[in-house]
Amino acid sequence: MNLFDIVGPVMVGPSSSHTAGAVRIGQVSRHLLGESVKEAKILLHGSFLATGKGHGTDKALVGGILGFDPDDARIKYSFELAKEQGVKFEFIKTNLGENVHPNTVKMEMILEDGSKSTVMGASIGGGNIKLTEMDGLALDFNGSRSAVVLEIKDIPGAIAFITGILGHNNKNISMISTNKPAKSEYTFLTIETEDELESSLIDQLRKFEVVAKVVVLDKF
């Protein structure tokens, strides 16, 4: 436990979960995508939906998309600043399912280069967040370490093959988790490592027949 865990984050707004966490979800999404967001549909679920305006969750999410930190005084003016920058946004009330954390938001975004991306994340308390989905890939990522997410064929030996490749390249695995959607032929494999994976190793993973998709997640 560290001091942050005890006293919580320095922030603008009344709630670490509904304000600081919301800022971080938007901010981290922008960072991971590597592009400025030009348009966003923001789907609010559970308590995020219930307290969106009262706790400033809506302004916090937009502020995060603009790249603001949780303690940035500009968050209260994020709607106006977004419009000045030509960033379009809309909030949509939704139910993302019974098994989803109550402080969850799903953001469907169009980026500066015209590409589209979707990120879903939850504020889990004390300003901490967890990303649970990115562009259709199921995640369980809190940003404490670098990670790679692979969509792999659900066949015997596939996971052992991938971890063997990492071990052969002297990569120490800190955490590994799997998520297989119902009736899918593929499994989502999330691997956190002590060190970042070199681009050459990522390219190597992408070439294997059992691997359908690879997404690299930097720690935050």
Q: Give tens-digit pLDDT for 57-114.
A: 999 999 999 999 999 999 999 999 999 999 999 999 999 998 899 999 999 999 999 9
Which domain does 82 fall in, by range?
A: 3-135
Token match 């032929």: residue? Answer: 185
Angle between helices 21-33 and 57-65 (to 10 degrees): 20
User: In the chain, how long is the greatest CA-to-CA distance?
Assistant: 53
Token match 């994020």: residue? Answer: 78
- Establish if 140 belongs to a structural domain: no
Question: Which domain CATH number covers 151?
Answer: 3.30.70.260
> Which token pair is 85?
């920058």
Question: Which domain CATH number covers 48?
Answer: 3.30.1330.90
Under DSSP, the state recorded for 194 is: S
Q: Give tens-digit pLDDT for 123-182.
A: 998 888 999 998 888 888 888 888 898 999 999 999 999 999 999 999 999 999 888 877
Task: Please tell me the total count of domains within the chain.
Answer: 2
State whether 81 and 166 are in the same domain: no
Query: Where a domain ends, among 106, 135, 164?
Result: 135
Mean pLDDT of the chain: 87
State whether 131 and 183 are in the same domain: no
In this predicted structure, what is the pLDDT of residue 7?
A: 34
| Residues 18 and 48 sit within 8 Å (Cβ to Cβ) | yes
State whether 125 and 89 are in the same domain: yes
Instruction: Tell me the pTM.
Output: 0.74
- Establish if 141 belongs to a structural domain: no
Alpha-carbon dihedral sign for residues 195, 201, 203, 205: negative
